[in-house]
Amino acid sequence: MTVPTGTTVTTVTTDLTGSCLIGGAAVRGTHGEVSGVNPVTGETLAPSYGLVGIDEVDHAAELAWTAFASYRKTSPAARAAFLETIADNIAALGSALTDRVIAETGLPLPRVLGETGRTVGQLRLFAAVLREGNFHGARIDAAQPDRTPLPRPDIRLQSIALGPVAVFGASNFPLAFSVAGGDTASALAAGCPVIVKAHSAHPGTSELIGGAIRAAVVHHDLPEGVFSLLYGSGAVVGTALVTHPRIKAVGFTGSRGGGLALVTAAANRPEPIPVYAEMSSINPVFVLPGALAHNAAGLGEQWVASVVTGTGQLCTSPGLVFVPEGPAGQAFTAAATAAVQKLSATPMLTAGIRDAFDRGATRFREHAGVRNLTDRVSDSALVVGAAPQLFATDAAIFLADPALQEEVFGPASLVVTVRDTAQMVQILAGLEGQLTVTLHTDADEPGCAELLDAAELRAGRVLFNGWPTGVEVVSAMVHGGPFPATSNAQGTSVGTLAIDRFLRPVSYQNVPAALLSEALQDDNPLGIVRQHNGQFARE
Protein backbone atom coordinates (compact mmCIF):
# COMPACT_ATOMS: atom_id res chain seq x y z
CA MET A 1 0.00 0.00 0.00
CA THR A 2 1.35 3.46 -0.89
CA VAL A 3 1.84 5.93 1.94
CA PRO A 4 0.23 9.32 1.13
CA THR A 5 2.66 12.13 0.30
CA GLY A 6 3.55 14.34 3.23
CA THR A 7 2.83 11.78 5.95
CA THR A 8 5.18 10.97 8.81
CA VAL A 9 6.06 7.29 9.18
CA THR A 10 7.85 6.27 12.34
CA THR A 11 10.18 3.28 12.45
CA VAL A 12 8.05 0.15 12.60
CA THR A 13 9.64 -3.27 12.75
CA THR A 14 8.31 -6.18 10.74
CA ASP A 15 10.21 -8.73 12.82
CA LEU A 16 7.93 -11.01 14.82
CA THR A 17 9.01 -11.86 18.36
CA GLY A 18 6.11 -13.76 19.92
CA SER A 19 5.86 -11.20 22.70
CA CYS A 20 3.10 -9.08 24.18
CA LEU A 21 3.42 -5.31 24.35
CA ILE A 22 2.77 -4.10 27.88
CA GLY A 23 3.22 -0.37 27.65
CA GLY A 24 6.72 0.11 26.28
CA ALA A 25 7.98 -3.37 27.14
CA ALA A 26 7.97 -6.54 25.04
CA VAL A 27 6.98 -9.34 27.41
CA ARG A 28 6.97 -13.05 26.63
CA GLY A 29 4.15 -14.74 28.54
CA THR A 30 4.81 -17.92 30.50
CA HIS A 31 1.27 -19.31 30.79
CA GLY A 32 1.29 -21.49 27.69
CA GLU A 33 1.61 -20.49 24.06
CA VAL A 34 -0.33 -20.18 20.83
CA SER A 35 0.68 -20.15 17.18
CA GLY A 36 -1.02 -19.04 14.02
CA VAL A 37 -2.19 -21.79 11.67
CA ASN A 38 -2.61 -21.48 7.92
CA PRO A 39 -6.22 -22.65 7.30
CA VAL A 40 -5.44 -23.61 3.70
CA THR A 41 -2.35 -25.76 4.29
CA GLY A 42 -2.57 -26.55 7.99
CA GLU A 43 0.97 -25.22 8.50
CA THR A 44 1.82 -23.97 11.99
CA LEU A 45 3.31 -20.51 11.66
CA ALA A 46 6.31 -19.23 13.59
CA PRO A 47 6.81 -17.71 16.04
CA SER A 48 4.75 -19.04 18.90
CA TYR A 49 3.25 -16.45 21.26
CA GLY A 50 3.59 -16.70 25.01
CA LEU A 51 0.33 -16.27 26.90
CA VAL A 52 0.16 -13.92 29.86
CA GLY A 53 -1.70 -14.26 33.15
CA ILE A 54 -3.44 -12.08 35.70
CA ASP A 55 -0.26 -10.31 36.86
CA GLU A 56 0.46 -9.00 33.37
CA VAL A 57 -3.16 -7.87 32.98
CA ASP A 58 -2.86 -5.96 36.24
CA HIS A 59 0.37 -4.30 35.12
CA ALA A 60 -1.11 -3.25 31.78
CA ALA A 61 -4.25 -1.90 33.48
CA GLU A 62 -2.25 0.12 36.01
CA LEU A 63 -0.12 1.58 33.21
CA ALA A 64 -3.29 2.48 31.32
CA TRP A 65 -4.77 4.18 34.37
CA THR A 66 -1.60 6.19 34.94
CA ALA A 67 -1.57 7.21 31.27
CA PHE A 68 -5.23 8.20 31.36
CA ALA A 69 -4.57 11.18 33.64
CA SER A 70 -2.58 13.00 30.97
CA TYR A 71 -3.80 11.33 27.76
CA ARG A 72 -7.39 12.45 28.30
CA LYS A 73 -6.12 16.03 28.54
CA THR A 74 -4.27 15.97 25.22
CA SER A 75 -5.73 18.30 22.64
CA PRO A 76 -8.02 16.93 19.94
CA ALA A 77 -5.42 18.03 17.38
CA ALA A 78 -2.70 16.04 19.16
CA ARG A 79 -4.84 12.90 19.30
CA ALA A 80 -5.76 13.36 15.63
CA ALA A 81 -2.07 13.50 14.68
CA PHE A 82 -1.47 10.36 16.77
CA LEU A 83 -4.21 8.45 14.94
CA GLU A 84 -2.90 9.59 11.58
CA THR A 85 0.59 8.37 12.46
CA ILE A 86 -0.84 4.96 13.35
CA ALA A 87 -2.58 4.91 9.97
CA ASP A 88 0.62 5.85 8.17
CA ASN A 89 2.60 3.21 10.05
CA ILE A 90 0.08 0.48 9.15
CA ALA A 91 0.12 1.52 5.49
CA ALA A 92 3.94 1.42 5.52
CA LEU A 93 3.95 -2.24 6.61
CA GLY A 94 2.99 -3.16 3.04
CA SER A 95 3.48 -6.76 1.98
CA ALA A 96 4.86 -7.80 5.37
CA LEU A 97 1.37 -7.23 6.75
CA THR A 98 -0.68 -8.54 3.83
CA ASP A 99 1.42 -11.71 3.54
CA ARG A 100 1.00 -12.47 7.23
CA VAL A 101 -2.75 -11.83 7.18
CA ILE A 102 -3.17 -14.18 4.22
CA ALA A 103 -1.06 -16.86 5.88
CA GLU A 104 -3.02 -16.70 9.14
CA THR A 105 -6.54 -16.37 7.70
CA GLY A 106 -6.65 -17.76 4.17
CA LEU A 107 -8.34 -14.54 3.05
CA PRO A 108 -7.67 -13.52 -0.58
CA LEU A 109 -5.38 -10.57 -1.33
CA PRO A 110 -8.16 -8.21 -2.54
CA ARG A 111 -10.05 -8.72 0.73
CA VAL A 112 -6.91 -8.12 2.78
CA LEU A 113 -6.03 -4.97 0.85
CA GLY A 114 -9.60 -3.73 1.22
CA GLU A 115 -9.61 -4.39 4.94
CA THR A 116 -6.23 -2.70 5.34
CA GLY A 117 -7.60 0.34 3.57
CA ARG A 118 -10.67 0.32 5.78
CA THR A 119 -8.54 0.10 8.93
CA VAL A 120 -6.35 2.99 7.85
CA GLY A 121 -9.42 4.93 6.74
CA GLN A 122 -11.16 4.48 10.11
CA LEU A 123 -8.17 5.94 11.92
CA ARG A 124 -8.12 8.95 9.62
CA LEU A 125 -11.88 9.32 9.92
CA PHE A 126 -11.64 9.65 13.70
CA ALA A 127 -8.79 12.11 13.28
CA ALA A 128 -11.23 14.21 11.23
CA VAL A 129 -13.88 13.79 13.95
CA LEU A 130 -11.44 15.19 16.50
CA ARG A 131 -10.62 18.21 14.37
CA GLU A 132 -14.28 18.91 13.57
CA GLY A 133 -15.19 18.90 17.28
CA ASN A 134 -18.82 17.83 17.52
CA PHE A 135 -17.78 14.90 19.72
CA HIS A 136 -17.38 17.36 22.61
CA GLY A 137 -21.18 17.77 22.71
CA ALA A 138 -20.49 21.28 24.03
CA ARG A 139 -23.49 23.17 25.43
CA ILE A 140 -23.62 26.49 27.23
CA ASP A 141 -26.60 27.90 29.10
CA ALA A 142 -25.45 31.30 30.25
CA ALA A 143 -26.22 32.63 33.69
CA GLN A 144 -29.35 34.71 34.20
CA PRO A 145 -28.64 36.58 37.43
CA ASP A 146 -31.77 38.70 37.11
CA ARG A 147 -34.18 35.80 36.63
CA THR A 148 -37.00 35.65 39.17
CA PRO A 149 -37.93 34.21 41.51
CA LEU A 150 -34.42 32.64 41.46
CA PRO A 151 -31.38 33.48 39.35
CA ARG A 152 -30.06 30.85 36.94
CA PRO A 153 -26.42 29.77 37.31
CA ASP A 154 -23.98 29.44 34.44
CA ILE A 155 -24.17 25.80 33.26
CA ARG A 156 -21.93 24.24 30.63
CA LEU A 157 -21.63 20.67 29.36
CA GLN A 158 -19.06 18.62 27.51
CA SER A 159 -18.31 14.94 27.04
CA ILE A 160 -15.15 13.49 28.56
CA ALA A 161 -13.32 10.18 28.21
CA LEU A 162 -14.55 7.24 30.28
CA GLY A 163 -11.15 5.74 31.10
CA PRO A 164 -9.09 2.75 29.94
CA VAL A 165 -10.89 0.48 27.48
CA ALA A 166 -10.42 -3.26 26.89
CA VAL A 167 -10.80 -4.31 23.26
CA PHE A 168 -11.14 -7.93 22.11
CA GLY A 169 -9.84 -8.74 18.64
CA ALA A 170 -12.32 -10.40 16.28
CA SER A 171 -11.66 -13.63 14.42
CA ASN A 172 -13.34 -12.63 11.16
CA PHE A 173 -11.77 -9.18 10.73
CA PRO A 174 -8.05 -9.48 11.56
CA LEU A 175 -7.57 -5.77 10.87
CA ALA A 176 -10.76 -3.70 10.81
CA PHE A 177 -12.22 -5.16 14.06
CA SER A 178 -9.02 -6.10 15.83
CA VAL A 179 -5.92 -4.45 17.24
CA ALA A 180 -6.29 -1.10 15.44
CA GLY A 181 -9.91 -1.57 14.40
CA GLY A 182 -12.92 0.62 15.00
CA ASP A 183 -13.13 0.01 18.76
CA THR A 184 -9.48 0.95 19.29
CA ALA A 185 -9.61 3.93 16.93
CA SER A 186 -12.74 5.40 18.53
CA ALA A 187 -11.51 4.78 22.08
CA LEU A 188 -8.14 6.40 21.42
CA ALA A 189 -9.93 9.31 19.75
CA ALA A 190 -12.10 9.76 22.83
CA GLY A 191 -9.00 10.04 25.03
CA CYS A 192 -9.10 6.51 26.44
CA PRO A 193 -6.01 4.28 26.70
CA VAL A 194 -6.60 0.86 25.14
CA ILE A 195 -5.59 -2.66 26.12
CA VAL A 196 -6.20 -5.14 23.30
CA LYS A 197 -6.59 -8.86 23.83
CA ALA A 198 -5.34 -10.27 20.55
CA HIS A 199 -7.31 -13.03 18.86
CA SER A 200 -5.40 -16.32 18.88
CA ALA A 201 -6.20 -16.98 15.21
CA HIS A 202 -3.97 -14.18 13.92
CA PRO A 203 -1.24 -13.47 16.48
CA GLY A 204 1.41 -12.37 13.98
CA THR A 205 -0.94 -9.90 12.33
CA SER A 206 -1.76 -8.56 15.77
CA GLU A 207 1.91 -8.07 16.66
CA LEU A 208 2.59 -6.17 13.44
CA ILE A 209 -0.32 -3.81 14.05
CA GLY A 210 0.54 -3.50 17.73
CA GLY A 211 4.04 -2.47 16.76
CA ALA A 212 2.65 0.21 14.46
CA ILE A 213 0.61 1.66 17.32
CA ARG A 214 3.50 1.42 19.77
CA ALA A 215 5.79 3.29 17.36
CA ALA A 216 3.20 6.08 17.13
CA VAL A 217 3.01 6.28 20.93
CA VAL A 218 6.78 6.79 21.07
CA HIS A 219 6.79 9.25 18.17
CA HIS A 220 4.23 11.50 19.86
CA ASP A 221 5.88 11.16 23.28
CA LEU A 222 2.71 9.80 24.86
CA PRO A 223 2.61 7.83 28.13
CA GLU A 224 3.54 4.20 27.53
CA GLY A 225 0.28 2.94 29.03
CA VAL A 226 -1.79 4.48 26.23
CA PHE A 227 -1.59 1.11 24.45
CA SER A 228 -0.91 -2.50 25.40
CA LEU A 229 -1.36 -5.77 23.48
CA LEU A 230 -1.90 -9.04 25.32
CA TYR A 231 -2.07 -12.68 24.27
CA GLY A 232 -3.94 -14.98 26.61
CA SER A 233 -6.92 -17.25 27.18
CA GLY A 234 -10.40 -15.78 27.27
CA ALA A 235 -11.19 -17.48 30.56
CA VAL A 236 -8.16 -15.96 32.27
CA VAL A 237 -7.05 -12.79 30.49
CA GLY A 238 -10.47 -11.84 29.12
CA THR A 239 -12.18 -12.16 32.48
CA ALA A 240 -9.31 -10.41 34.28
CA LEU A 241 -9.52 -7.46 31.89
CA VAL A 242 -13.27 -7.01 32.14
CA THR A 243 -13.27 -7.27 35.93
CA HIS A 244 -10.20 -5.10 36.55
CA PRO A 245 -11.19 -1.92 38.44
CA ARG A 246 -9.07 0.27 36.13
CA ILE A 247 -11.01 -0.78 33.02
CA LYS A 248 -14.03 1.43 32.36
CA ALA A 249 -15.53 0.00 29.13
CA VAL A 250 -15.21 -3.00 26.80
CA GLY A 251 -15.42 -3.45 23.03
CA PHE A 252 -16.06 -6.98 21.74
CA THR A 253 -16.95 -8.68 18.46
CA GLY A 254 -17.57 -12.42 18.57
CA SER A 255 -19.96 -15.16 19.60
CA ARG A 256 -23.09 -14.72 21.68
CA GLY A 257 -21.70 -16.99 24.38
CA GLY A 258 -18.46 -15.05 24.62
CA GLY A 259 -20.18 -11.69 24.61
CA LEU A 260 -22.71 -12.65 27.28
CA ALA A 261 -19.93 -13.98 29.51
CA LEU A 262 -18.23 -10.58 29.34
CA VAL A 263 -21.50 -8.73 29.93
CA THR A 264 -22.19 -10.85 33.02
CA ALA A 265 -18.68 -10.35 34.39
CA ALA A 266 -18.88 -6.59 33.86
CA ALA A 267 -22.32 -6.35 35.46
CA ASN A 268 -21.18 -8.26 38.54
CA ARG A 269 -18.28 -5.92 39.28
CA PRO A 270 -18.52 -3.66 42.35
CA GLU A 271 -18.55 -0.88 39.73
CA PRO A 272 -20.43 -2.22 36.67
CA ILE A 273 -19.14 -0.99 33.32
CA PRO A 274 -20.57 -0.94 29.79
CA VAL A 275 -19.75 -3.79 27.42
CA TYR A 276 -20.33 -3.02 23.76
CA ALA A 277 -20.56 -6.55 22.40
CA GLU A 278 -21.49 -7.39 18.83
CA MET A 279 -22.65 -10.99 19.00
CA SER A 280 -25.22 -12.67 16.80
CA SER A 281 -27.28 -11.70 13.75
CA ILE A 282 -28.91 -13.59 10.88
CA ASN A 283 -29.70 -10.43 8.88
CA PRO A 284 -33.05 -11.47 7.32
CA VAL A 285 -33.95 -10.52 3.77
CA PHE A 286 -37.59 -10.04 2.71
CA VAL A 287 -38.31 -10.25 -1.03
CA LEU A 288 -41.73 -8.84 -1.85
CA PRO A 289 -43.88 -9.93 -4.81
CA GLY A 290 -43.21 -6.82 -6.90
CA ALA A 291 -39.45 -7.29 -6.83
CA LEU A 292 -39.78 -11.02 -7.59
CA ALA A 293 -42.04 -10.37 -10.54
CA HIS A 294 -39.31 -8.38 -12.28
CA ASN A 295 -36.18 -10.35 -11.44
CA ALA A 296 -36.73 -13.56 -9.47
CA ALA A 297 -33.74 -15.42 -10.92
CA GLY A 298 -31.40 -12.45 -10.70
CA LEU A 299 -32.29 -11.84 -7.07
CA GLY A 300 -31.69 -15.50 -6.25
CA GLU A 301 -28.19 -15.32 -7.74
CA GLN A 302 -27.41 -12.02 -5.98
CA TRP A 303 -28.56 -13.44 -2.65
CA VAL A 304 -26.17 -16.38 -3.00
CA ALA A 305 -23.31 -14.01 -3.83
CA SER A 306 -24.01 -12.16 -0.57
CA VAL A 307 -24.28 -15.39 1.43
CA VAL A 308 -20.87 -16.67 0.30
CA THR A 309 -18.97 -13.37 0.56
CA GLY A 310 -16.04 -13.99 2.89
CA THR A 311 -17.09 -17.66 3.12
CA GLY A 312 -20.13 -16.41 5.02
CA GLN A 313 -17.94 -15.26 7.91
CA LEU A 314 -19.25 -11.70 8.02
CA CYS A 315 -21.37 -10.17 10.76
CA THR A 316 -23.87 -9.10 8.10
CA SER A 317 -24.12 -12.33 6.11
CA PRO A 318 -27.81 -12.98 5.23
CA GLY A 319 -28.77 -16.20 7.00
CA LEU A 320 -32.48 -15.99 6.18
CA VAL A 321 -34.50 -14.99 3.15
CA PHE A 322 -38.30 -14.84 2.98
CA VAL A 323 -40.07 -15.16 -0.38
CA PRO A 324 -43.75 -15.52 -1.31
CA GLU A 325 -44.93 -19.01 -2.14
CA GLY A 326 -45.77 -19.68 -5.78
CA PRO A 327 -43.96 -19.70 -9.15
CA ALA A 328 -41.91 -16.52 -8.57
CA GLY A 329 -40.64 -17.76 -5.22
CA GLN A 330 -39.82 -21.11 -6.79
CA ALA A 331 -37.87 -19.36 -9.55
CA PHE A 332 -35.87 -17.45 -6.94
CA THR A 333 -35.01 -20.65 -5.07
CA ALA A 334 -34.15 -22.57 -8.24
CA ALA A 335 -31.78 -19.83 -9.42
CA ALA A 336 -30.12 -19.68 -6.02
CA THR A 337 -29.67 -23.44 -5.94
CA ALA A 338 -28.15 -23.47 -9.41
CA ALA A 339 -25.77 -20.66 -8.45
CA VAL A 340 -24.54 -22.54 -5.38
CA GLN A 341 -23.91 -25.74 -7.33
CA LYS A 342 -21.32 -23.86 -9.40
CA LEU A 343 -19.30 -22.81 -6.36
CA SER A 344 -16.40 -24.56 -4.71
CA ALA A 345 -15.43 -24.71 -1.07
CA THR A 346 -13.37 -21.84 0.28
CA PRO A 347 -11.23 -21.52 3.43
CA MET A 348 -12.73 -20.75 6.80
CA LEU A 349 -10.72 -18.82 9.35
CA THR A 350 -10.14 -21.53 11.94
CA ALA A 351 -10.89 -25.18 12.54
CA GLY A 352 -13.13 -24.20 15.44
CA ILE A 353 -15.26 -21.94 13.23
CA ARG A 354 -15.46 -24.67 10.57
CA ASP A 355 -16.53 -27.26 13.13
CA ALA A 356 -19.23 -24.96 14.49
CA PHE A 357 -20.44 -24.33 10.94
CA ASP A 358 -20.64 -28.07 10.27
CA ARG A 359 -22.69 -28.57 13.43
CA GLY A 360 -25.10 -25.81 12.44
CA ALA A 361 -25.50 -27.07 8.89
CA THR A 362 -26.03 -30.61 10.19
CA ARG A 363 -28.79 -29.31 12.44
CA PHE A 364 -30.59 -28.00 9.36
CA ARG A 365 -29.97 -31.17 7.33
CA GLU A 366 -31.41 -33.36 10.07
CA HIS A 367 -34.47 -31.19 10.72
CA ALA A 368 -37.63 -32.99 9.61
CA GLY A 369 -39.23 -29.81 8.28
CA VAL A 370 -36.21 -28.48 6.37
CA ARG A 371 -35.23 -29.43 2.82
CA ASN A 372 -31.57 -29.56 1.80
CA LEU A 373 -31.27 -27.73 -1.53
CA THR A 374 -27.60 -28.39 -2.23
CA ASP A 375 -26.60 -31.62 -0.46
CA ARG A 376 -23.11 -30.26 0.09
CA VAL A 377 -20.64 -30.94 2.89
CA SER A 378 -17.29 -29.36 3.74
CA ASP A 379 -14.65 -29.98 1.07
CA SER A 380 -11.77 -32.16 2.27
CA ALA A 381 -9.47 -30.59 -0.34
CA LEU A 382 -8.98 -27.70 2.08
CA VAL A 383 -7.61 -28.28 5.55
CA VAL A 384 -10.15 -25.81 6.96
CA GLY A 385 -12.77 -25.25 4.28
CA ALA A 386 -16.53 -25.16 3.75
CA ALA A 387 -18.84 -25.52 0.77
CA PRO A 388 -21.92 -23.27 0.51
CA GLN A 389 -25.17 -24.86 1.62
CA LEU A 390 -28.79 -23.78 1.16
CA PHE A 391 -31.89 -25.03 2.94
CA ALA A 392 -35.62 -24.39 2.62
CA THR A 393 -38.74 -24.55 4.76
CA ASP A 394 -42.12 -22.83 5.04
CA ALA A 395 -43.43 -20.17 7.40
CA ALA A 396 -45.45 -22.56 9.56
CA ILE A 397 -42.43 -24.71 10.37
CA PHE A 398 -40.20 -21.68 10.86
CA LEU A 399 -42.64 -20.09 13.30
CA ALA A 400 -43.01 -23.33 15.23
CA ASP A 401 -39.27 -23.82 15.88
CA PRO A 402 -37.22 -20.93 17.36
CA ALA A 403 -34.05 -22.95 16.74
CA LEU A 404 -34.36 -22.10 13.04
CA GLN A 405 -33.51 -18.51 14.00
CA GLU A 406 -30.12 -19.52 15.40
CA GLU A 407 -27.10 -18.17 13.55
CA VAL A 408 -25.02 -20.57 11.48
CA PHE A 409 -21.77 -18.66 11.03
CA GLY A 410 -20.52 -19.53 7.57
CA PRO A 411 -21.80 -19.99 3.99
CA ALA A 412 -25.27 -21.34 4.77
CA SER A 413 -28.71 -19.78 4.56
CA LEU A 414 -32.36 -20.74 4.85
CA VAL A 415 -35.17 -19.91 2.39
CA VAL A 416 -38.58 -19.53 4.04
CA THR A 417 -41.69 -19.39 1.87
CA VAL A 418 -44.52 -17.24 3.21
CA ARG A 419 -48.18 -16.82 2.41
CA ASP A 420 -48.08 -13.08 1.73
CA THR A 421 -46.55 -9.79 2.80
CA ALA A 422 -48.76 -9.63 5.89
CA GLN A 423 -47.18 -12.86 7.11
CA MET A 424 -43.75 -11.33 6.48
CA VAL A 425 -44.68 -8.48 8.82
CA GLN A 426 -45.84 -10.99 11.43
CA ILE A 427 -42.58 -12.96 11.19
CA LEU A 428 -40.35 -9.88 11.27
CA ALA A 429 -42.08 -8.57 14.38
CA GLY A 430 -41.24 -11.82 16.17
CA LEU A 431 -37.58 -12.10 15.18
CA GLU A 432 -34.69 -11.44 17.54
CA GLY A 433 -32.72 -8.21 17.23
CA GLN A 434 -30.55 -7.92 14.13
CA LEU A 435 -27.70 -5.86 12.74
CA THR A 436 -29.58 -5.53 9.44
CA VAL A 437 -32.95 -6.12 7.83
CA THR A 438 -33.17 -5.98 4.03
CA LEU A 439 -36.29 -5.33 1.96
CA HIS A 440 -36.52 -5.96 -1.78
CA THR A 441 -39.60 -4.22 -3.07
CA ASP A 442 -41.09 -1.99 -5.71
CA ALA A 443 -41.86 1.55 -4.69
CA ASP A 444 -45.29 1.94 -3.05
CA GLU A 445 -45.81 -1.83 -2.90
CA PRO A 446 -48.57 -2.80 -0.43
CA GLY A 447 -47.19 -3.79 2.97
CA CYS A 448 -43.84 -2.06 2.45
CA ALA A 449 -44.49 0.67 5.02
CA GLU A 450 -45.57 -1.91 7.61
CA LEU A 451 -42.39 -3.93 6.99
CA LEU A 452 -40.27 -0.81 7.41
CA ASP A 453 -42.01 -0.04 10.72
CA ALA A 454 -41.26 -3.56 11.96
CA ALA A 455 -37.71 -3.51 10.60
CA GLU A 456 -36.61 -0.35 12.40
CA LEU A 457 -37.64 -1.94 15.70
CA ARG A 458 -35.57 -5.03 14.97
CA ALA A 459 -32.34 -3.73 13.42
CA GLY A 460 -29.72 -1.01 13.48
CA ARG A 461 -29.65 -0.74 9.67
CA VAL A 462 -32.53 -1.17 7.21
CA LEU A 463 -31.63 -1.67 3.53
CA PHE A 464 -33.82 -1.38 0.47
CA ASN A 465 -33.02 -3.28 -2.74
CA GLY A 466 -29.47 -4.19 -1.80
CA TRP A 467 -27.57 -6.76 0.24
CA PRO A 468 -26.31 -6.43 3.81
CA THR A 469 -22.72 -7.59 3.26
CA GLY A 470 -20.54 -4.52 2.94
CA VAL A 471 -20.53 -1.87 5.66
CA GLU A 472 -19.65 1.69 4.69
CA VAL A 473 -17.51 3.51 7.26
CA VAL A 474 -19.34 6.84 7.18
CA SER A 475 -20.96 9.19 9.66
CA ALA A 476 -24.50 7.91 9.04
CA MET A 477 -23.66 4.20 9.48
CA VAL A 478 -24.99 2.14 12.37
CA HIS A 479 -23.39 -1.25 12.92
CA GLY A 480 -25.33 -2.38 15.95
CA GLY A 481 -28.86 -3.36 16.85
CA PRO A 482 -31.20 -4.74 19.49
CA PHE A 483 -30.15 -7.79 21.53
CA PRO A 484 -28.69 -10.27 20.65
CA ALA A 485 -27.15 -8.47 17.69
CA THR A 486 -25.42 -6.33 20.29
CA SER A 487 -25.48 -6.03 24.05
CA ASN A 488 -26.26 -2.31 23.82
CA ALA A 489 -28.45 -1.10 20.99
CA GLN A 490 -27.65 2.55 21.74
CA GLY A 491 -24.18 2.31 20.23
CA THR A 492 -22.49 1.50 16.94
CA SER A 493 -19.09 -0.04 16.30
CA VAL A 494 -18.79 1.53 12.81
CA GLY A 495 -19.07 5.18 11.85
CA THR A 496 -18.31 8.40 13.68
CA LEU A 497 -20.92 7.81 16.39
CA ALA A 498 -18.72 4.96 17.67
CA ILE A 499 -16.75 7.50 19.70
CA ASP A 500 -19.81 8.20 21.87
CA ARG A 501 -19.50 4.77 23.50
CA PHE A 502 -16.34 5.87 25.28
CA LEU A 503 -17.46 9.32 26.41
CA ARG A 504 -19.75 10.56 29.17
CA PRO A 505 -21.35 13.99 29.68
CA VAL A 506 -20.34 16.27 32.53
CA SER A 507 -22.01 19.55 33.53
CA TYR A 508 -19.97 22.43 34.94
CA GLN A 509 -21.88 24.95 37.06
CA ASN A 510 -20.40 28.38 37.78
CA VAL A 511 -16.89 27.13 37.05
CA PRO A 512 -14.37 30.01 36.92
CA ALA A 513 -13.51 30.96 33.34
CA ALA A 514 -9.82 30.27 33.87
CA LEU A 515 -10.59 26.62 34.68
CA LEU A 516 -12.88 25.88 31.73
CA SER A 517 -11.68 23.62 28.93
CA GLU A 518 -11.20 25.14 25.49
CA ALA A 519 -14.43 23.50 24.32
CA LEU A 520 -16.41 25.56 26.88
CA GLN A 521 -14.56 28.88 26.90
CA ASP A 522 -16.56 31.94 25.86
CA ASP A 523 -14.30 32.83 22.93
CA ASN A 524 -14.47 29.25 21.54
CA PRO A 525 -10.77 28.89 20.67
CA LEU A 526 -11.43 25.51 19.02
CA GLY A 527 -13.92 27.07 16.60
CA ILE A 528 -16.40 24.22 17.11
CA VAL A 529 -20.18 24.20 16.77
CA ARG A 530 -21.79 24.46 20.20
CA GLN A 531 -25.31 24.71 21.54
CA HIS A 532 -25.41 28.17 23.11
CA ASN A 533 -28.58 29.10 24.97
CA GLY A 534 -30.47 26.50 22.96
CA GLN A 535 -29.15 27.54 19.54
CA PHE A 536 -26.40 25.76 17.61
CA ALA A 537 -23.69 28.10 16.41
CA ARG A 538 -19.95 28.31 15.77
CA GLU A 539 -19.26 31.19 18.14
Amino acid at 308: V
32: left (phi over 0), alpha (psi -120 to 50) or beta: left
| C-alpha distances in Å from residue 294, one per residue of 299, 325, 448, 462 | 9, 16, 17, 22
CB 481 within 8 A of CB 460: yes
**Number of CB atoms found within 10 A of residue 321's CB:** 29
Listing DSSP states for 394-429 in one string gives EHHHHHH-GGGGS---SSEEEEEEES-HHHHHHHHH
Q: 167 — phi, psi (to 5°)?
A: -120, 135
Edge-first strand listing for the sheet containing 389-394: 371-372, 389-394, 412-418, 320-324, 285-287, 434-440, 459-464
- Exposed, middle or buried by CB within 10 Å (0-12, 13-18, 19+), for 364? buried
The rounded distance, in Å, linking the Cα atoms of 174 and 278 is 15
Amino acid at 61: A
List all residues 6 or more positions away from 221 whose beta carbon is below 8 Å from its beta carbon.
none
Give kind and range of the element (H or E) at residue 191: none
Q: Three-class SS of residue 477?
A: coil
The rounded distance, in Å, linking the Cα atoms of 444 and 95 is 50
The DSSP secondary-structure symbol of 23 reads T
The rounded distance, in Å, linking the Cα atoms of 96 and 73 is 35
The rounded distance, in Å, linking the Cα atoms of 536 and 539 is 9
The DSSP secondary-structure symbol of 135 reads G
List all residues 6 or more positions away from 82 whose beta carbon is below 8 Å from its beta carbon.
74, 188, 216, 217, 220, 222
Strand partners, 385: 347
Which residues are part of the catalytic machinery? 278, 315
- Exposed, middle or buried by CB within 10 Å (0-12, 13-18, 19+), for 510? exposed
Say whether the peptide bond before residue 149 is cis (omega within 30 degrees of 0).
yes
The rounded distance, in Å, linking the Cα atoms of 133 and 282 is 36
The DSSP secondary-structure symbol of 501 reads G
